[in-house]
């Protein structure tokens, strides 16, 4: 999947301070390292639009209006647990005079539809008809290895349910890299957030915020890493076609969230490592 003809470049908004060494790195999973759930937005947005169209007044809102509203709130919450997008859907239903379902029911139906879309990929991986790296963002594995070799502790935190995250990390043969652990959404959604994982890892390792670097393709992890004084790298991979080009839409949103640098992927892992660790 890696197109070796492109030249890897890092868009630098703010360079990292060289005073602090890097002791821990936090990765988001879907879209940042994993391509298994590529296209989930194309499942969630049409489903949510379907729900809202049932209750919206067509004289007030066109289908396009509904789609725009939906896309906006789905994007804004990307990176948080899926349930938050479903809670917002229920609020939008209510705001239009409808009687919403329990958010958990919206989540179940969304996951059922998404599973249909990704089952084929999961099957390919579990039956070894595809190589794990076919579904890893280019260079991801090598980059994790370089970080580990440098003694940096690695954490993974995802808004996807922990059961699935662990299963998919394993399918991609990435579990061994995350010596800090793999964390995902819990049924009791208030017991997990990326901010909580960050707080805990800072305390456990007696870390200064500036000793943390984060990698993600969504708002939440970028904001959370910046909030503790860490260095946040936005990974703007074009997931449908991970050929080293930037997804402009992701890039813009990552910059809005406060990303300090933008990369297309990890396809020049040593260069990226040097930039971050020995700027």
Contact call for residue 214 and Mg ion (CB under 5 A): no
Q: Quick one: which segment of 49-57, 97-105, 209-217, 238-246 binds Mg ion (CB under 5 A)?
A: 209-217
Torsion of Cα atoms, 73 then 75 then 78 then 83, to 10°: 30
Q: Quick one: which segment of 1-9, 27-35, 191-199, 206-214 binds Mg ion (CB under 5 A)?
A: 27-35
The pairing of beta strand 11-12 with beta strand 153-161: unpaired
Report the length, in residues, of the chain: 279
Backbone angles phi, psi at 259, to 5 degrees: -55, 140
Residue number, 61 or 75, with CB nearest to Mg ion:
75
Return the axis-axis angle of helices 103-126 and 82-95, rounded to nearest 10°: 140
Contact call for residue 30 and Mg ion (CB under 5 A): yes
Q: What is the nearest approach in angstroms of Mg ion to the Cβ of residue 255?
A: 16
Residue number, 66 or 198, with CB nearest to Mg ion:
198
Half-sphere exposure of 116 (CA within 13 A, CB side): 8
Contact call for residue 239 and Mg ion (CB under 5 A): no
C-alpha 195/C-alpha 88 separation (Å) is 20
Contact call for residue 264 and Mg ion (CB under 5 A): no
Residue number, 161 or 217, with CB nearest to Mg ion:
217
Q: Quick one: which segment of 59-67, 217-225, 233-241, 259-267 binds Mg ion (CB under 5 A)?
A: 217-225
What are the tokens at 241?
A: 């076609």
For Mg ion, the binding residues (CB under 5 A) are 28, 30-31, 217-218
């Amino acid at each position: 999947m890696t197109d070796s003809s492109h030249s890897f470049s890092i868009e630098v908004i703010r360079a990292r301070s060289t005073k602090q060494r890097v002791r821990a790195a936090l990765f988001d999973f879907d879209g940042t390292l994993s391509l298994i759930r590529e296209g989930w937005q194309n499942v969630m947005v049409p489903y949510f639009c379907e729900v809202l169209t049932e209750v919206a007044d067509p004289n007030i809102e066109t289908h396009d209006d509904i789609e725009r509203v939906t896309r906006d709130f789905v994007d804004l919450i990307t990176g948080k647990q899926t349930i938050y997008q479903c809670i917002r859907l229920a609020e939008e239903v209510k705001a239009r005079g409808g009687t919403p379902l329990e958010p958990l029911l919206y989540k179940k139906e969304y996951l059922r539809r998404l599973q249909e879309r990704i089952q084929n990929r999961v099957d390919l991986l579990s039956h070894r008809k595809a190589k794990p790296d076919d579904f890893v963002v280019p260079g991801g594995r090598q980059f994790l290895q370089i970080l580990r070799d440098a003694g940096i502790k690695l954490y993974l935190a995802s808004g996807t349910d922990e059961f699935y995250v662990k299963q998919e990390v394993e399918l991609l043969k990435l579990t061994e890299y995350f010596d800090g652990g793999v964390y995902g959404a819990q049924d009791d959604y208030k017991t997990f957030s990326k901010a909580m994982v960050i707080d805990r890892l800072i305390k456990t390792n007696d870390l200064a915020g500036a000793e943390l670097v984060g990698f993600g393709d969504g708002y939440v992890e970028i904001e959370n890493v910046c909030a503790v004084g860490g260095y946040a790298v936005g990974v703007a991979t074009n997931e449908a076609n991970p050929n080293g080009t930037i997804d402009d839409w992701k890039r813009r949103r990552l910059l809005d969230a406060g990303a300090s640098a933008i990369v297309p992927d990890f396809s020049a892992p040593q260069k990226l490592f040097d930039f971050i660790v020995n700027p």
